[in-house]
Amino acid sequence: MSKVTTMKQAIEAHVHDGDFVYIGGYICRPPFAAIHEIIRQRRKDLTITRSNATDDFDLLIGAGVVKRFIASFLSLGFYGLGRCYRRSIEKGIPHKIEVEEYSNLSLPMMLMAGAMGMPFVPVKDMVGTDMMKVKSFMGDGKYKVIDSPFDGTPTLLVPALNPDVGIIHVQQADENGNAQMWGIGGDCKHGANASKKVIVSCERIVSREVIGKDPSRTIVPGFKVAAVVEEPFGAHPGYTPGFYDVDFPFGSLYQQASNTVEGFEAFLEEWVFGLEDRAAYTQHYVERFGYAAFKGLQAGFDYGYPVSYSY
């Protein structure tokens, strides 16, 4: 039974106001088509999470759809601090989001725990620092310190996370949602598998037979997946290994735009609200920046070797 649908329908059906949403990617494979659709549908009060957040999370925060953020990091990297993130916390624009602080070790481990049905997981970081002193909406549930029952050592435990829905962008998936990925993984595999259901955005839908030619590449099995959406160029301005490069000029454009509230609103109008889907977005990209720029992002051909699973 095919789960293939449009992003509009996938978000309508599976992302609700107040949901806890895992969103995969970090420059590599951010599901921007889904993120734009969430904003377009004006969701509100979302709790969002992933380790290492960047322009995509900044955009969601600036657009006002976020209430809470289970965080390890948010910046625009090369382009400096996240403007919307700062405005939200420093000035309450559009509103002040609540942040629960973790690290790039603890947070991925909490997602791993969620994926694996563990109630909590011991980690060795965070102790002794002010990360322990700040607690937000998770309150006393942010962490616990116990004396290890094995050797008495003080041990920090952090809780498992199980988002209502996980959204990832991958290279390819079949119509049942078996999702295959290669290259930098971030916390995608655990984040998606920790979620109660998954929306898979992909560069291309392939047959079940193609999936079966290399099953070790699959990171999410079909039975966890609620919707599959083919969204070529769906991670732009991030990149997808083997498909297209990160768009540095666009990063600069976002930096400039998000410097002011007005600029940010205009950016949203131009790139989100004014376009109905990723196809329209891509057409607008080509019209605005020229086909040469679009073509310049397309990945080179540098294919590896096929393998056999035969016996």
Q: Footprint of another protein on residues 5-24 (CB under 8 A)?
A: none
Q: How does 198-213 read in b/e, with b if 16+ C-beta sit within 10 Å?
A: bbbbbbebbeeeebee
* Partner whose binding site includes residue 262, from a second copy, another protein, none (CB under 5 to 8 Å by kind): none
Select from 102, 19, 100 the least CA-distant residue to 65: 19
Selected binder of another protein within 13, 146, 184, 279 (CB under 8 A): 184
Q: Using CB under 8 A, count the residues that bind a second copy.
A: 50
The verdict on 132 binding a second copy (CB under 8 A) reads no
Residue nearer to another protein on the CB measure, 7 or 170: 170
CA 175 to chain CA centroid, Å, is: 21
Least gap, CB of 190 to a second copy (angstroms): 12
The verdict on 301 binding another protein (CB under 8 A) reads no
Instruction: Please count the CA atoms within 13 angstroms of the CA of 8 that sit on its side-chain side.
Output: 8
Region binding a second copy by CB under 8 A among candidate stretches 36-44, 88-96, 228-236, 302-310: 302-310
Q: Kind and range of the H or E element at 118? A: none
Integer Cα distance of 81 and 182 in angstroms: 29
Residue with tokens 């939200």: 88
Q: Which of residues 261-290 bind another protein (CB under 8 A)?
A: none
Region binding another protein by CB under 8 A among candidate stretches 170-178, 226-234, 275-283, 288-296: 170-178
Please count the residues of the chain: 311
Antiparallel, parallel or unpaired: β 46-49 and 66-71:
parallel
Selected binder of another protein within 5, 49, 72, 255 (CB under 8 A): 72
* Partner whose binding site includes residue 279, from another protein, a second copy, none (CB under 5 to 8 Å by kind): none
Backbone angles phi, psi at 118, to 5 degrees: -85, 140
Region binding a second copy by CB under 8 A among candidate stretches 67-75, 92-100, 153-161, 284-292: 153-161
Selected binder of another protein within 33, 74, 165, 226 (CB under 8 A): 74
